[in-house]
Amino acid sequence: MFKDKKILLGITGSIAAYKAILLTRLLIKEGAEVKVIITKAASDFVSPLTLSTLSKNPVLQDLSSNSEWVNHVQLGRWADVFIIAPLSCNTLAKMAYGLCDNLLMATYLSATCPIVVAPAMDEDMWKHPSTQKNIETIESYQNKILSVNNGELASGLFGEGRMAEPEQIVDYLYHYFQDTTELVGKKVLITAGPTYEAIDPVRFIGNHSSGKMGFALAEEMAMKGATVTLVTGPTKEKISIDTIKRIDVVSASDMYNTCLEFASDSDILIMSAAVADYTPITVATNKIKKKEGSWEVALTKTKDILYSIGQQKKNNQFLVGFALETNNEIEHAKQKLINKNADCIVLNSLNDANAGFGHQTNKITLLDKSGNITAFDLKSKKEVAKDIVSFIISKLNG
Ligand code: CTP
């Protein structure tokens, strides 16, 4: 993924420095050349020996080494990107004010390559007005700030301030190094995840869709330069590209209304959500108490978003639907392509092991209006997203 890429990794003094070890390992595994600069405070958290062994390069800490000046100017020119992860509150403040008291800061101030930072700190420190002001300041200097995660912090408290996970940083860099021009100017609408249909204030009808496939598609589209709106049902998935407009919805009806609002203005529409086909006719205001005997919930059909968009589709719009089938898969998918007036159907078969709902991997067959049927191998959902997006691009290009 990062063959021939030169990555300069700056590590500052935060407990999250331990994650920089995994980050180094992942970058090297993906073929990058990595040089590491650590601050004195960072070396209290992680050993330079571990980092030099993993990066296969000496770890740099001081402005001079063995009476020789370390050429910090050259480091910033050597790198394709300088990533500072974790970025401590202290180094953030130095970046905002241009202090130059160590090798990392000298390299930062003289770097000509793009700079990406992954802040890590306690929630209260993160939310402090001075921290937020410093973040705004360094952002205005064209540094890229990766979002902090919400979760358990070193203090034992839960909240915002966790450093982006090494995998998220690798993902970001992967997007960063991609050719982002193919879909520039295209607006893409994607649905993802399940929908929850309320029965009463505490119960709902849902399904096991994780949202992974839709999120991977949104990221792949954004990576190619598209302007992406992602309408998602309840999911734990997170978006690592902040240009994606994420709209959270709960029910099929919410998803329908939101999609219809954006549909006519979209060039590519991908309906990957597992939308409930039925919803309770009435939603009880109070929690329904259990009674003797069985209980029947009267359901009514939801509006089919893919079908509705298919009916109003313009010639220059490309509509993709998903089909999850258990038998006569190709025949059913062909029917769906026609009935819903889609340009392409992504077929998942429940007969394929490790594919579809809840899995990290997927195995798809693509059917298009010209009658082409293309089967793909079992792949990670990110790889599958790439196949689908490449397929769409090839169709758009004629
Ligand atoms: N879909 C939708 N709105 C709905 C239901 C489904 O947009 N209310 C979309 C899904 O996002 C997916 C495709 O339609 O792209 C799935 O088609 P569907 O006919 O719902 O498939 P199944 O639910 O599997 O239906 P069937 O039981 O007929 O196979």
Average pLDDT on 152-180 reads 85
Considering the domain architecture, whether residues 170 and 239 belong to the same structural domain is answered as: no
Q: Which of 330, 336, 338, 348 to mutate to test the pocket of ligand 1 (most atoms within 8 A of CB)?
A: 336
| Boundary-marking domain end, from 159, 177, 195 | 177
| Boundary-marking domain end, from 143, 177, 211 | 177
Percentage of the chain lying above the pLDDT 90 cut: 79
| Residue 1 lies inside a defined structural domain of this protein | no
Considering the domain architecture, whether residues 206 and 162 belong to the same structural domain is answered as: no
- Asked if residue 280 lies in contact with residue 297, where contact means CB atoms within 8 angstroms, the answer is yes
Name the residue range of residue 289's domain.
187-397
Considering the domain architecture, whether residues 287 and 316 belong to the same structural domain is answered as: yes
CATH number at residue 236: 3.40.50.10300
Considering the domain architecture, whether residues 273 and 391 belong to the same structural domain is answered as: yes
User: Structural domain tally of the chain?
Assistant: 2
Catalytic site residue from 57, 90, 207, 257: 207
Say how far apart CA 46 and CA 84 lie, in whole Å.
15
Considering the domain architecture, whether residues 234 and 162 belong to the same structural domain is answered as: no
- pLDDT at 171 (0 to 100): 86
Angle in degrees, CA 37, 41, 47, rounded to 5: 65
Residue 301 DSSP label? E
Considering the domain architecture, whether residues 138 and 204 belong to the same structural domain is answered as: no
Average pLDDT on 311-317 reads 96
- pLDDT at 292 (0 to 100): 94
Considering the domain architecture, whether residues 86 and 199 belong to the same structural domain is answered as: no
Report whether pLDDT(174) > 90: no
Considering the domain architecture, whether residues 99 and 243 belong to the same structural domain is answered as: no
Considering the domain architecture, whether residues 255 and 160 belong to the same structural domain is answered as: no
Q: What is the pLDDT of residues 94-125, one digit of tens each?
A: 999 999 999 999 999 999 999 999 999 999 99
Average pLDDT on 313-336 reads 95
Report whether pLDDT(360) > 70: yes
User: Which amino acids bring their CB within 6 angstroms of ligand 1?
Assistant: 191, 252, 271, 273, 275, 277, 302, 304-306, 321-324, 336
Considering the domain architecture, whether residues 171 and 244 belong to the same structural domain is answered as: no
Nearest CA among 91, 75, 85, 74 for reference residue 138: 91
Catalytic status, residue 327? no
Percentage of the chain lying above the pLDDT 70 cut: 98
Q: Whose CA is nearest to atom 17 of ligand 1?
A: 323
Considering the domain architecture, whether residues 379 and 231 belong to the same structural domain is answered as: yes
Report the separation in Å between the CA atom of 180 and the middle of ligand 1, taken as the mean of its atom positions. Answer: 31
- pLDDT at 180 (0 to 100): 67
Q: Share the mean pLDDT of the chain.
A: 93
- pLDDT at 326 (0 to 100): 87
Considering the domain architecture, whether residues 58 and 137 belong to the same structural domain is answered as: yes
Higher pLDDT, 362 or 66: 362
Q: What is the pLDDT of residues 235-286, one digit of tens each?
A: 999 887 778 999 999 999 999 999 999 999 999 999 999 999 999 999 999 9
Say how far apart CA 256 and CA 342 lie, in whole Å.
17
| Residue 27 lies inside a defined structural domain of this protein | yes
Report the separation in Å between the CA atom of 274 and the middle of ligand 1, taken as the mean of its atom positions. Answer: 7
Report whether pLDDT(287) > 90: yes
Average pLDDT on 168-193 reads 88
- pLDDT at 298 (0 to 100): 97
CATH number at residue 148: 3.40.50.1950
- pLDDT at 199 (0 to 100): 98
- The helix-helix angle for 166-177 and 17-29 (nearest 10°) equals 40
Q: Which of 208, 230, 271, 337 to mutate to test the pocket of ligand 1 (most atoms within 8 A of CB)?
A: 271
Report whether pLDDT(25) > 70: yes
| Boundary-marking domain end, from 158, 177, 196 | 177
Q: What is the pLDDT of residues 56-106, one digit of tens each?
A: 999 999 887 766 777 778 888 999 999 999 999 999 999 999 999 999 999
Report whether pLDDT(388) > 90: yes
**Residue 354 binned pLDDT confidence (cut-offs 50, 70, 90):** confident
Which residues, other chains included, contact 214 with Cβ-Cβ below 8 Å and sequence gap of 6+?
190, 191, 192, 193, 230, 232, 270, 272, 273
Q: Whose CA is nearest to atom 13 of ligand 1?
A: 322
Report the separation in Å between the CA atom of 200 and the middle of ligand 1, taken as the mean of its atom positions. Answer: 24
- pLDDT at 179 (0 to 100): 62
